[in-house]
Structure 1
């Protein structure tokens, strides 16, 4: 896999008066985000070390370092981080078992059916009760269940290609 930043969450607010922030995690379970450090913050806020964090209801709360490497200890100093996306280097993510994939490795892949018709590119993924769903953008938007062995014949994240058993008129 190419080493690239992967969106893992977003700083959504402030927590208390001691410089802690509220974090919405994209990971499942949400506290898996705590396993990654440093965090790369969007809006050109740079790399920040995670000093402490814990689950707080349906979000996380975290204490990060400032640009100088010292702990952020005031609400005012933390306020500039609100709204920043949290990314981590793809290389920090643990390898998965065979035939399991991170969504970030599927997004951008070309989806081709058995008749060799390109149906579009994966622009998003949806989580449903039964299967994850590929959201394709192409000549039109398509939703295809990500069901290996059923609708999905083969996945090659290195080539950026997913082969599917799906008609081009569906």
Structure 2
């Protein structure tokens, strides 16, 4: 092999190695970015779940008509519609009849599955209920599976299933 051929082979090898290094760097960068996005989605969906559960399951009979509809802003349109009907027809009348006060706390939550636009979260919810029949209060603990959809950058609860 003469000197000219060696230089061409060396140049081609250098170009191939450079392209391979750029491709590997790009792939690694994409994976890092993708993993960070997934972690952000997990953290944001858990936060949204806890905040929303506490808002929709906490109310006082004196202000139930004002409190609970505000919490509906954190729900998807279909679930919001059903929730508002439930408030009007069942929750508010029962709360007023029994002088019911409920304080909910999402004690723990963890992601079951997530992607960029949908998440499923398992949460443990404790509720302290007081009423005219039970002024000392009682505690209700529940596990719920919460489905969320991301809409315009915000995680909204689409469904809540007790487990």
Fold shared per TM-score above 0.5: no
**What range is the shorter-chain TM-score in?**
under 0.3
Q: Which one has the bigger strand percentage?
A: 1
Question: Which of the pair is proportionally richer in helix?
Answer: 2
TM-score (norm 1): 0.22
Q: TM-score of the superposition, structure 2-length normalised? A: 0.22
* Structure with bigger gyration radius: 2
